Amino acid sequence: MTESRLTDAQRVVVTGLGATTPLGGDVATTWAAMLAGQSGVKVLTEDWVETLPVHIGAPVAVDPSEVLPRPLIKRSDRSGQFAIIAAREAWADAGAPELEPERIGVVIASGIGGVTTLLDAYDTLKERGARRVLPMTVPMLMPNGPAALVGLELVARAGVHTPVSACSSGAEAIAYAVDMIRTGRADIVAAGGTEAAIHPLPLAGFAAMQALSTRNDEPERASRPYDKGRDGFVLGEGAGVLVLETLEHALARGATIYGEIAGAGITSDAHHMAQPDPVGAGATRAMGMALRAAGATASDVVHINAHATSTPVGDVAEAEAIRNALGDAVNGVCVSGTKSMTGHLLGAAGAVETIATLLALRDRKAPATTNLEDPDDDVHLDVVRGEPRALPDGELLALNNSFGFGGHNVALAVRSV
Amino acid sequence: MAASEQEILAGLAEIVNEETGIDTGDVQPEKSFTDDLDIDSLSMMTIVVNAEEKFGVRIPDDDVKGLSTVGDAVSYIAKASA
């Protein structure tokens, strides 16, 4: 393993994790379900479902109304509710650090923002007039709403930010948080992503792009990255939040350290609004940048939590990008596509999957990609199937990939401790 | 038939509780929305919109400024719905 070139005051580590996902209402439940190969995908029961070509989705396992007080539910978009749940868990997990509010930052990304609030309020406007549109509508629908809610919750005054880069938003938030800490703007940052877009309009839009699986009769088998039978992603919802600080800061306060965000690479394709670059050039560069930032080389990588959404084009393009980024070293790397179980959490995906990457390194277990029954001949990767794969002892490096419509590519290099 | 002031108070207390979490028992006629119940202007407008819906009345924005206590609101709604 190549040594980090950074000092303890520059290395950024993770000391708290929080999540609410289709697999569980917290990190422990989500991770246990992931290792067990469970699915969070189901047939949606809302009455509008029959009007759409897609009848399946991956709603959160624990509805926010079960864990948050009613006034907060009424005053926040569902995406804000998820963010609060995940941030509370992460902050408590980090030991509820006590420091000046001016040194606490928040970066909570979203791909789409408060879309259900916006669309429901528009229904109210059309059906019942302007007087019935509630005054909290705008604060609830704005994409920075969840970040601001978490900022209020943690009393964070070092800056509250919301990167928006579609399905790479959550990973970009973590990269931004690392920069905030390294440039001295904050000592601790709660960073991640949230998304709550299971509503007929986003579903209809994604379906119109032919981006969604229509395997309506077999919901649990619908998300199948790298499988020949894959036919699109499954729309999920949820949030993931990580607490980040320098290694020096974490050691000084005796915090439990999950691992290090050793490097980040962010690039853009400038190729097409929604199609990935067919050879994944931007994705390849992002992975290379993340490794260089980590002071590592391709041969250090043991595991990749891939973007792997289960779309026919995207999975192959990413596989090609991974091979190009790692060269011959790809043969020693096991790849997991955890969206096979969670569905695609859009702006939360990068955060939830970074949590999965950290836990895979901690527990030395890479989760299996479920539903991979007939591997695509064009995917030349060692994809974990069947059972979780044991990872070796010692200091390990992994990558987490996230890509988004608009040509956004984010790779995070995660190092075990 | 118009609701009695007691029914209006109970209905208003429910709306305040839904929006703010304040106990319905604390929503008493002599309480000031801002000074006693700590209700901000956005929540106040939400309460007004919900009260209009519930009691079938219209409370113009200019009149909302005059409703400083819970009792003021109850009397206003009683008069408007009479």
Is there a contact between A132 and B18 if contact means CB atoms under 8 Å apart? no
Tokens of A287: 């992975």
Tokens at A282, concatenated: 């931007």
Which residues of chain A have a CB within 8 Å of the CB of B43? 75
Exposed, middle or buried, A100 (CB in 10 Å: 0-12/13-18/19+)?
Answer: exposed
What's the domain range around B76? 5-81
What one-character-per-residue DSSP string does A94-151 give? TT-----GGGEEEEEE-SS-SHHHHHHHHHHHHHH-GGGS-TTHHHHHSTTHHHHHHH
Which CATH number belongs to the domain containing residue B44 in this structure?
1.10.1200.10
Tell me whether A394 touches chain B (CB under 8 Å). no
Token pair 């030395």 in the structure block, residue:
A364
Domains A12-252 and A263-415 share a fold: yes
Does A74 contact chain B (CB < 8 Å)? yes
Which among A71, A135, A139 has CB closest to B20?
A: A71
Q: How many domains does chain B have?
A: 1
Catalytic entry in A199, A249, A307, A408: A307
- Residue window 31-50, chain B: list those with CB within 8 Å of chain A: 42-43, 45-46, 49
Query: Does any CB of chain B come closer than 8 Å to the CB of residue A132?
Result: yes
Q: Where are the domains of chain A?
A: 12-252, 263-415
Which distant-in-sequence residues (6+ apart) come within 8 Å of B34 by Cβ? B40, B44, B68
A344 in catalytic set: yes
On whether any CB of chain B is under 8 Å from the CB of A70, the answer is: yes
Whole-model pTM over 0.90: yes
Residues of chain B with Cβ-Cβ distance to A69 below 8 Å are: 21
Q: Is A408 a catalytic residue?
A: no
Nearest to A243 by CA among A21, A86, A415, A101: A86
Chain A residues near residue B42 by CB distance under 8 angstroms? 135-136, 139
Q: Which fold has domain A263-415?
A: Peroxisomal Thiolase; Chain A, domain 1 (3.40.47)
Nearest chain B residue to A133 by CA distance is B49
Instruction: Just give the CATH number of A12-252.
Output: 3.40.47.10
Catalytic sites of B, residue numbers: 40
Q: pLDDT (tens digit, 0 to 9) for every residue of chain A, 417 residues total?
A: 555 678 998 999 999 999 999 999 999 999 999 999 999 999 999 999 999 999 999 999 999 999 999 899 999 999 999 999 999 999 999 999 999 999 999 999 999 999 999 999 999 999 999 999 999 999 999 999 999 999 999 999 999 999 999 999 999 999 999 999 999 999 999 999 999 999 999 999 999 999 999 999 999 999 999 999 999 999 999 999 999 999 999 999 999 999 999 999 999 999 999 888 888 999 999 999 999 999 999 999 999 999 999 999 999 999 999 999 999 999 999 999 999 999 999 999 999 999 999 999 999 999 999 999 999 999 999 999 999 999 999 999 999 999 999 999 999 999 998
Report d(CA A206, CA A311) in Å as an integer. Answer: 12
Candidate from B18, B49, B52 with C-beta closest to A70 = B18
